[in-house]
Chains A and B, each alone.
Chain A
Amino acid sequence: MKRRNNAAGHGVLPLDVLFDVLVRLPAKEICRFRAVCRPWRCLTSDPVFIQEHAARHRSPLIVASFHDDDKHVHLMDLSGRILKTLPVPAGLTSLCSRLDLICVASLIGNISLINPATGTVKHLPNAPAEHFDSHDSSSDEEWGLLHPEPEIDVFALGRVDSTGEYKVLRVSSVPTPTTWFDDREDLPCHGTGVLTVNGSARRTRWISHMSPDEFLLDLEYMDDAVVVGGSVYFLWHTGMFPMRRDEEDMRCGISPHYIAVFNLDKEQWRSIPGPRHGEYYDHGSFDDDEDVSKYFDMWTGSTLAELNGCLVLVHKRDPQDSSTFLDLWFLTDAKKHVWAKQYTILAPEAIIPATERVKPLLLLHDGRIVIFLGSKGVLLVYDPATNLFPEMDTRRLDAVVSTYITLSTRSFPYAPRRQHLDLRSHLLGARRIIQARAACLKVQQPSTPVALRRRPVMVNHLAAASRHGRVMPPDVLFDILLRLPAKDCRLPALAIPDL
């Protein structure tokens, strides 16, 4: 065997050194480096690598749908420069994302995913038709009071972190009238559906759900559904709710929730209270009418958004001195329903009119906030330090979402590709891995998110690594595999296909 220990170096970097090296480089470089050789390709396609890489590099891009162009979406950087123009399938205009995939949909249930890196389009099965073209004529008037807007389907694309599944939630904006007019006293509910994008073929179809009866959602625009982590948040419909569960109820100690949450993992609905619920609600009930009206005001004047992985309630206070006040409440602890007011934005009405649909889009590292004004169709970059609102130089926008490019954008997130199995021949044997992993995990608590935690190894343990030419040194691979909790890396499918 030819030794290559010459001065030029080697190329036999142990896998976890290589991991350390490559994870520092931007996604675009990594994609290019996949051509270098097969072990590099295997490593950089591994879900563990992709996850760790995504945690380190997440520079956001803005996906814009311009008012004068419904055939394309445009990837912009934060200065408004267009980096890439991607064609969208005809008729699909609505946007949703915050992930490494862009979801485009029509108002009537056609939906596709676009890979922002490559522009590839994946058509998803149409949502089931649950639309009722002709409402009962006697109902139209009553119905119109509640829902002046045309019926649309609102889509939300999210990722379940524990499984890596991408799921699309569809909610019909108008509650299903069949339940509205049946004999029950219940309120109508929304037809909803869930589609698992990268599940097995059996699961890649719409599973219908009904929202619980009292979950009447405020849905006018696609971005009324806000995805944070594996949950989709909505505000309850303000026209309906106070009538139903009114102030009396709130004084009697019924919890004043007004935010609906759909958990994409469990596929369940629940609700949470908005900010200041504790403040008005310390003694098991609201003390007086003023408290109640203040609390309702928090709800009726608000929209939801996502910033930095937090749900944000944007509360527009009454304007004073021709200025618009926006309070940004961050849901800092989703389990305990802890909200914290982290920003108060004071903008001249000329810049942000009181009637404007305000949607914060991105919180940048330097503290600036990119804000989308839905009615004007512009993006502002608000700087809290100077209280200035420079407008991003773009054409008029219909919709914007943020996205980012990660390594999994190489192709649609299907189950691990066949090439992963190439690793198999380098492995030492499935049984040994299982035993060793079990032993290892007992000793050492793996951290989350997955990082390669090092544990003391025998000095000689990796000595074999350098003898294996360019193929992945089995000892090193073995060493890595057994440090990873099985559920995080989906390695069982890769390493032990026989079991």
Chain B
Amino acid sequence: MAAPESGDGNNGAARMVTLISSDNTRFEVEAAAASLSQTLQLTILDGGGGGGDGIPLPNVDSATLSKVLEYCIKHAPAAANGGAPNATAVDRAELERFDNEFVNIDQSVLYSLIMAAHNLEIEGLQSLVAKKVADMIKGKSPMEIRRTLGFPDPTPEEQAEMNAHMLEYGWAYE
């Protein structure tokens, strides 16, 4: 039961929604920013998240959520302009600088961010983190990648498969 005054409060101040992280921290953000998440968008359109209700996000902890919202708030104005076709070059450069800075983070934070972007389906953030991970693994050998991404050591069987593959793809290691 959403309170009517919050659900239809589309006049005056921007509508706010409340998001609740897995550790029960409440975040109040503009609906426009939260709507960058495809997952949340429908709920918000239906009038959810207003008033005292809040939208629970059991997969996202508060540290990650605040990081995600930082991104959303920064990108919401541009997204509201329909992908910002008329944004000035300065605005775009500023966003780019922000993005670069934004993913310059510890790998465990990055991982949480990837999962959150994925679960919340925030398209811009998804491609931003994907690009970051791609940059991280570029030029590395398979073993280095396993180490970078924290895979367990290969079993003998896996090691044999890897060796066989390296033989087949010798040219890719040149």
Contact = CB atoms under 8 A, between A and B. Distances in A.
A455 interface: yes
B129 to A, nearest CB: 8
A228 to B, nearest CB: 30
Given A6-B150, A33-B142, A118-B171, A455 B133 contact: no
Contact of B59 (A31, A33, A38, A463): A463
Interface in B41-65: 41-42, 57-59
A11 B146 CA distance: 8
Contact of B118 (A6, A14, A24, A117): A14
A318 interface: no
B24 interface: no
A35 B108 contact: no
A410 B165 CA distance: 11
Interface string A432-472: 00000000000000000000001111111011001000100
B133 to A, nearest CB: 4
A8 B150 contact: yes
A290 interface: no
Contact of A25 (B123, B134, B150): B134
Contact of B169 (A10, A11, A34): A34
B162 interface: yes
A9 B149 contact: yes
Contact of A8 (B107, B131, B142, B145): B107
A186 interface: no
Interface string B58-95: 11000000000000000000000000000000000000
Nearest to B106: A7
Interface string A455-498: 11111101100100010000000000000000000000000000
Contacts of A410: 169
Contacts of B166: 35
Interface string B133-148: 1100111011001101
B164 to A, nearest CB: 9
Contact of A35 (B39, B59, B165): B165
B131 A24 contact: yes
A34 B172 CA distance: 10
A37 B158 contact: yes
A4 interface: yes
Contacts of B121: 454, 456-457
Contacts of B42: 456
Given A24-B134, A35-B142, A118-B171, A456 B161 contact: no
A460 B115 CA distance: 12
B100 interface: no
Contact of B151 (A28, A37, A459, A460): A37
Given A7-B106, A29-B138, A35-B166, A456 B115 contact: no
Contact of B146 (A37, A38, A41, A118): A37
A462 B59 CA distance: 9
- B: interface residue count bin: 35 or more
Contacts of A24: 130-131, 134
A9 B108 contact: yes
Interface string A11-48: 10110110011101100110111111110010000000
Nearest to B162: A35
Contacts of A13: 114, 133, 149
A456 B130 contact: no
B142 A456 contact: no
Nearest to B38: A456
B115 to A, nearest CB: 7
B127 interface: yes
Nearest to A25: B134
A20 B122 CA distance: 13
A100 B123 CA distance: 31
A424 B115 CA distance: 25
Nearest to B108: A7
A33 B145 contact: yes
Contacts of B154: 37
Contacts of B110: 9
B152 interface: yes
Nearest to B121: A454
A75 B139 CA distance: 22
A29 B135 CA distance: 12
B107 A460 contact: no
Contact of A22 (B59, B120, B123, B134): B134
Given A29-B138, A459-B57, A463-B59, A10 B39 contact: no
Given A459-B58, A463-B119, 4 more contacts: A4-B150, A17-B114, A21-B137, A454-B123
19 contacts: A7-B107, A8-B108, A10-B150, A14-B118, A17-B133, A29-B139, A31-B172, A32-B142, A32-B169, A32-B173, A33-B137, A37-B154, A38-B161, A41-B165, A117-B171, A458-B39, A459-B120, A463-B119, A470-B152
Closest 6 CB pairs of A and B: A20-B130, A35-B142, A11-B149, A31-B172, A35-B165, A8-B150
